Amino acid sequence: MQTYTSIRELRGRIGEWRKANPEGTVGFVPTMGFLHEGHASLIERARAENGLTVVSVFVNPLQFGPNEDFERYPRDPERDASVCERAGADLLFAPEVREMYPKKAVTRVLVEELTDRLCGASRPGHFDGVGTVVSKLFHIVQPDRAYFGLKDAQQVAVIERMTEDLNLPVGIVPCPTVREPDGLALSSRNVYLTAEQREQAVVLSRALGKAGEWLSEPELGASELRGRIIAYIERAPLAVIDYVEVLTYPDLQPPDGLTLSSGNGQGGRIIVALAVKFGGTRLIDNRIFG
Amino acid sequence: MQTYTSIRELRGRIGEWRKANPEGTVGFVPTMGFLHEGHASLIERARAENGLTVVSVFVNPLQFGPNEDFERYPRDPERDASVCERAGADLLFAPEVREMYPKKAVTRVLVEELTDRLCGASRPGHFDGVGTVVSKLFHIVQPDRAYFGLKDAQQVAVIERMTEDLNLPVGIVPCPTVREPDGLALSSRNVYLTAEQREQAVVLSRALGKAGEWLSEPELGASELRGRIIAYIERAPLAVIDYVEVLTYPDLQPPDGLTLSSGNGQGGRIIVALAVKFGGTRLIDNRIFG
């Protein structure tokens, strides 16, 4: 595996590979580093489906709010490199902030509507930063396919819509969330949790499991489901709910009608999405049904 | 020359050409049609510098305000095709609105700061529409170089900055304004002018010529220059000034200091930009000095 910090050099290397492999495809896994088995699963999938696998590690300041954890976001470049190598990455792109933003960025890529709820409502400007940096990375790497974890389901929906709206020549591949044995979704932010918070954090995935059971009730409505999930999460004393939402997926709209069961003629998919704080650490999780 | 209305088919054709010409470059001229000799000069230059020349003709609804001339913007697809062919285009892309915007476009590409003055101030939202459609067209055509006329100097500055900020892998080639024998800058909107308006419209290019003379005065300041240009244009009875601006180029900021002469240590370029209405027709012109 080769590591690049320069856009020009990375592009040169990918360009050479393309010339030598005119039928080959490039798979791309953009990350913010501090890689865990969830990221490794994306890299392995990219590796299996493409001739060249590129991973980026870049903690993007543009997608953090002024009171968020940009400065203290966990970083471990050496371990990241070894996770990438072990998972089968060919090229690692790890630029400095000044390489990605050499001057004040006055251009932004905005995805409206999809971003005014869930994490977009809790973190104003977050998805503008995501859309902008992902479109920059797509232009730098020019992949055939890009791999994103469904733990950030709204991010996947936003990037799919941006790609479609802007005719980006990239296939977006959503990949399943990887979990700890007890169900907790892997996240770089899990390292912030104390032992007691870590124990109670399992309430997110358990609540989603219960939501799956409740959804089989034929007359269940979205607000009733939401209420039951909130009550379930509140049984964890350290849990402070940021949001619990039941929406259509990938459009992220309130579901039509009163009931969610498959018999109500909606046919589409439903996402149950949670954001819960434990102390200063905000965890998200979701499940998509139907 | 082949004409395409389908994104998929155009991409397929360009992809085939790329495979057959691995060292070749693609030149791209995005237009809104009703092509004149200014457009032809862009196509000829793209032809001279690239192996494949692609022209798009698309009147982009996103860049017109609610009270602007989208519906009545002049269109002549047959003549456009013959201008393209004569100038040496290989592929003409002329999509319908529903091909470019099959669903409500919720993604927008914004370039801030550069767009809050000149035409951006007179036409709110205009450059959001330009940035969005140009990035879509770049993703569809994936050219090596794109050619833009400097009559729309602010548009060139905005597209250059967007390309730089988003790392778009496209070289932007600004090309000189083509003029009528009396100096009037060619524009698709010139057809709206009555004979009397047409005669007086020459005041724009003449005012820019006078500005060039005045700029040789060592103590001239921006506001004095602006005042002289306004007085000069107002001698044309049918002219109604929208704006007269003297700014740095390409940053479009007010020049530092009191004087504009080359002796004042600024070193950078200065743009004198005009927008003047004749009846319902708004004409723009500019010159870049230094």
Helix, strand, coil shares of chain B, percent, nearest 5, are: 40, 20, 35
As beta bridge partners, residue A27 has A53, A145
Sheet holding A269-278, edge to edge: A239-249, A269-278, A281-289
Q: Measured between CA atoms, how close is B278 to chain A, in angstroms?
A: 33
Q: Of A175, A202, A224, at which residue does a domain stop?
A: A175
Disruptive mutation site among B101, B111, B166, B253 for chain A (greatest number of A CBs within 10 Å) = B166
Q: CATH code at A147?
A: 3.40.50.620
Same domain flag for A208 and A147: no
**Tokens 């590796």, residue located:** A47
CA distance B142 to B123: 29
Q: Which of A106, A113, A166 sits opposite B165 (nearest CB)?
A: A106
Contact B107 A161 (CB under 8 A): yes
How large a percentage of chain B has pLDDT more than 70?
A: 97
B151 shares its domain with B240: no
Average pLDDT for residues A173-202, to the nearest whole number?
A: 97
Residue with tokens 């007359």: A219
Facing residue for B106 by CB, picked from A105, A107, A165 = A165
B198: enclosing H helix or E strand: helix B195-200
CATH number reported for the structural domain that contains residue B215 in this entry: 3.30.1300.10
- Of A90-104, A145-159, A208-222, B139-153, which gets the smallest average pLDDT? A208-222
pLDDT tens by residue, B246-280: 999 999 999 876 667 654 445 689 999 999 999 99
For residue A265, what pLDDT is reported?
44
> How do residues B148-176 score in pLDDT, each as one tens digit?
999 999 999 999 999 999 999 999 999 99
Q: Is the pLDDT of residue A207 over 60?
A: yes
Asked if B165 and B197 sit in the same domain, the reply is no
Number of domains observed in the structure of chain B: 2
Distance CA B140, CA A84 (A): 31
For residue B132, which residues of chain A lie inside 8 Å, CB to CB?
166
- Residue A267, pLDDT > 70, answer no
B238 against A262, higher pLDDT? B238
Q: Which residues of B touch A131 (CB under 8 A)?
A: 107
Is there a domain that residue B182 lies in?
Answer: no
> Kind and range of the H or E element at B241?
strand B239-249
* Mean of pLDDT values over B40-64: 97
Query: DSSP 3-state assignment of B192?
Result: helix
pLDDT score recorded for residue B218: 85
Buried b (16+ CB within 10 A) or exposed e, A20-53: eeeeeebbbbbbbbbbbebbbbbbbbbbeebbbb
Query: Is B136 within 8 Å of A112 when comparing Cβ atoms?
Result: no
- Asked if B107's CB is within 8 angstroms of A139's CB, the reply is no
Does B181 fall in a domain? no
Closest residue, chain A, to B20 (C-alpha):
A22
- Chain B residue nearest residue A159, CA to CA: B107
- How far is the alpha carbon of A106 from chain B, nearest alpha carbon, in Å? 5
Residue B150 near residue B174 (C-beta atoms within 8 A): yes
* C-beta separation of B171 from B160 below 8 A: no
Set of chain B residues whose Cβ sits within 8 Å of the Cβ of A128: none
What is the β-pairing status of strands A269-278 and A281-289? antiparallel
Query: Which of A106, A114, A168 is nearest residue B139 as measured by Cβ atoms?
Result: A168
- Determine the average pLDDT of the residues in B49-68: 96
B98 in reach of chain A (CB within 8 A): no
Q: Is A135 an 8 Å CB contact of chain B?
A: yes
d(CA B290, CA B286): 14
pLDDT value of position B265: 44
ipTM of the complex: 0.93
Is residue B252 a part of any domain in this protein? yes
Percent of chain A with pLDDT over 90: 90
Q: Which of A122, A152, A175 is the last residue of a domain?
A: A175
B165 touches chain A (CB under 8 A): yes
Are A31 and A161 in a shared domain?
yes
pLDDT digits (tens, 9 = 90+) for A12-71: 999 999 999 999 999 999 999 999 999 999 999 999 999 999 999 999 999 999 989 999
State the residue range of the domain holding A148. 2-175
Q: How far is A15 from chain B (nearest CA, A)?
A: 11
Tokens matching residue B173: 């080639």
8 A C-beta contact, residue A63 and residue A129 = yes
pLDDT in tens, A106-154: 999 999 999 999 999 989 999 999 999 999 999 999 999 999 999 999 9
Q: Is B157 in the same domain as B213? A: no
Q: Are residues A281 and A215 in the same domain?
A: yes
pLDDT at B82: 98
Give pLDDT, residue B263: 40
Contact assessment for residue B124 and residue B35, using Cβ atoms and an 8 Å cutoff: no
Looking at the domain assignment, is residue A164 inside a domain? yes
Decide if A119 is inside a domain.
Answer: yes
- The confidence score (pLDDT) of residue A259 equals 67
Give the containing element (helix H, strand E) for B82: helix B77-87
Residues 6+ apart with CB under 8 A from B232: B203, B206, B207, B210
What pLDDT is attached to residue B268? 82
Inside any domain, residue A183: no
B112 touches chain A (CB under 8 A): yes
Token representation of residue A89: 């990455």
For A225, the token pair is 């489901």
- Please state at what angle helix A7-20 crosses helix A126-141, rounded to 10 degrees: 50
Q: What per-residue confidence (pLDDT) applies to B105?
A: 86
CB within 8 Å: B108 and A112: yes
Q: How far is A23 from chain B (nearest CA, A)?
A: 9
Spatial separation of the C-alpha atoms in residues B236 and A2, rounded to whole Å:
66
Pair (B163, B204) in one structural domain: no
A241-255, B22-36, B74-88, B255-269: lowest mean pLDDT where?
B255-269
- Considering the domain architecture, whether residues B197 and B238 belong to the same structural domain is answered as yes
- Is the model's pLDDT at B117 over the cut of 80? yes
B107, B139, B167 ranked by CB distance to A169: nearest: B139
Q: Is residue A182 part of a domain?
A: no
Look at residue B1 in the predicted model and tell me its pLDDT. 97
Domain check: are B152 and B207 in the same one?
Answer: no
Same domain, A153 and A249: no
Q: Is residue A180 part of a domain?
A: no
Q: Report whether the peptide linkage leading into residue B102 is cis, meaning its omega lies within 30 degrees of zero.
A: no
B168 touching chain A per CB within 8 A = yes
Q: Determine, for residues A112 and B135 on separate chains, whether the beta-carbon distance falls below 8 Å.
A: no
DSSP labels for A164-190?
HHTT-S-EEEEEPPPB-TTSPBP-GGG
B14 inside 8 A of chain A by CB:
no
Q: Of A115, A145, A175, which residue constitutes the final position of a domain?
A: A175
Average pLDDT of chain A to the nearest whole number = 94
As a whole number of angstroms, the distance between CA B158 and CA B250 comes to 9
Return the residue in A136, A166, A168 with the most chain B beta carbons within 10 A, the one to mutate for interface testing: A166
Nearest to B127 by CA among B165, B93, B102, B161: B161
* B40 plus B113 within the same structural domain: yes
> How far is residue A153's CA from residue A161's CA, in Å, rounded to a whole number?
12
DSSP sequence for chain A = -EEE--HHHHHHHHHHHHHH-TT--EEEEEE-SS--HHHHHHHHHHHHH-SEEEEEE---GGGS-TTSSTTTS---HHHHHHHHHHHT-SEEE---HHHH-SS---EEEEE-STTSSTHHHHSTTHHHHHHHHHHHHHHHH--SEEEEEGGGHHHHHHHHHHHHHTT-S-EEEEEPPPB-TTSPBP-GGGGG--HHHHHHTTHHHHHHHHHHHHTTSTT--HHHHHHHHHHHHTTSTTEEEEEEEEEEETT--PPSSS--SGGGS--SEEEEEEEEEETTEEEEEEEEE-
Read off φ and ψ for residue B219, nearest 5 degrees. Answer: -105, 10
Residue B53 and residue B78 in one domain:
yes
Backbone angles phi, psi at A26, to 5 degrees: -110, 125
**Residues that constitute the known binding site of A for (R)-pantoate:** 63, 155
Quick: pLDDT tens for B62-107: 999 998 999 999 999 999 999 999 999 999 999 999 999 999 989 9
CB contact under 8 A, B166 and A135: yes
